[in-house]
Amino acid sequence: MDKLPKIALPTVFIIIVLIILISKSAVNIGAGEAGVLWKRFGGGVVTDKPPLEEGFHLVAPWNKVYIYEVRRQELFEKMKVLSSNGLDIQLDASAWYKPEIENLGKLHKEIGENYLERIILPTIRSAARSVVGRYTPEQLYSSKRDAIQQEIFEETQKIVGDQYIVLDEVLVRDVTLPPTIKEAIERKLKQEQEALEYEFRLEKAEKEAERQRIEAQGKADANRILSASLTDKILKDKGIEATLKLAQSPNAKVVVVGSGDDGLPLILGNN
């Protein structure tokens, strides 16, 4: 019985040490994450092997695992930029990005966990200032937002594409101009719209007048052709034909043959 405590103490000590070692060695990588292994005695960051995937892993307690989110993430940024004529513009933009999983070790070794602040943010700010500086406030407000968005994306992609970062998209959420400039642009756009509407009405009226002129000309030409084709003989034949049809109707009438000025019969009578 006296020996039991002497045996139990080392056992308890060993169990405690094992628990500590396992807790130090156990790494759990969650959904949408990947781990970069750093070996204290094996060359530092492991870059020649794929990163640790989701799930439970055991590593040597003297090594360390850096966990990265590898799902697509969104960055939202408000920036003060200058237009081509030096006016202050506020640009609200967002970017969709994620690290290259296959190069996660290189990203950690060369840039670090704060690659967002070191690479993505400065690059987007620089690209936005460069791109917006090519346009006037009117272009930024009305017609060039899609072009600006694409140019910012392309200029940012040129830099981050070589930094083990995947840039999916850059979106321009809003462009805020100084109030006086915005009001002036809106007035100008309204005036241009009214001018276009006036031109449309004027063009429509001119087309309607032309249509009526052509229609009147057509009727005049038709009447002239008809008048030229109606000889006295044709008119007399038409009159006789109409008289015969009328004489055959059941209504009471009196037909006087040859009593008209033009030699046509006269029809006297009532219903």
What pLDDT, in 10s, does the model give residues 236-246?
666 667 666 66
In this structure, are 80 and 151 located in the same domain? yes
193 and 110 fall within a common domain: no
Q: Please indicate, yes or no, whether residues 97 and 116 belong to a single structural domain of this protein.
A: yes
User: Quick one: 87 and 158 in the same domain?
Assistant: yes
Residue finishing a domain among 138, 158, 177: 177
Together in a domain, 64 and 81: no
Look at 198 and 165; give whichever has higher pLDDT. 165
Instruction: Indicate if 95 and 38 belong to the same structural domain.
Output: no
On whether both 241 and 220 belong to a single domain, the answer is no
- Over 70: is that where the pLDDT of 264 sits? no
When the pLDDT of each residue in the chain is averaged and rounded to a whole number, the result is 79
C-alpha angle 264/265/267, rounded to 5°?
135
pLDDT at 243: 67
Based on the fold, state whether residues 250 and 205 are members of the same structural domain.
no
Are residues 47 and 103 located together in one domain of the fold? no
8 A C-beta contact, residue 155 and residue 147: no
Torsion of CA 208, 212, 214, 220, to 10 degrees: 180
* 89 neighbors 132 (Cβ within 8 angstroms): yes
What is the tally of structural domains in the chain?
A: 4
Last-in-domain residue among 16, 35, 69: 69
The Cα 112–Cα 152 span in angstroms is 24
| C-beta of residue 136 within 8 angstroms of C-beta of residue 85 | yes
- Kindly indicate the confidence band of residue 136, based on its pLDDT and cuts at 50, 70 and 90: confident
User: Binning pLDDT at 50, 70 and 90, where does residue 231 land?
Assistant: low
DSSP character for 118?
A: I
Alpha helices in the chain (DSSP H): 3-25, 104-110, 115, 121-132, 137-141, 145-160, 179-229, 232-247
Q: Are strands 64-69 and 33-39 parallel, antiparallel or unpaired?
A: antiparallel
Residue listed under structure tokens 């290259």:
100
Least confident stretch, 42-46, 48-52, 191-195: 191-195
Query: Is the domain of 83 the same as that of 33?
Result: no
Q: Provide the residue range defining the domain that includes 20.
A: 3-69
Is 93 in the same domain as 109? yes
Reply yes or no on whether the pLDDT at 114 is more than 80: yes
Last residue of a domain, one of 69, 90, 112: 69
Mean pLDDT over 41-45 rounds to 87
Give the chain's largest Cα–Cα span: 164
Between residues 174 and 144, the one the model is more confident about: 174
Instruction: Look up the CATH number of the domain holding residue 139.
Output: 3.30.479.30
- What pLDDT, on the 0 to 100 scale, is given for residue 240? 65
Q: Note whether 172 and 77 are same-domain residues.
A: yes
Confidence of residue 1 (pLDDT cuts 50, 70, 90): very low
Nearest to 90 by CA among 129, 119, 64, 52: 129
Would you state the pLDDT for residue 68?
A: 95
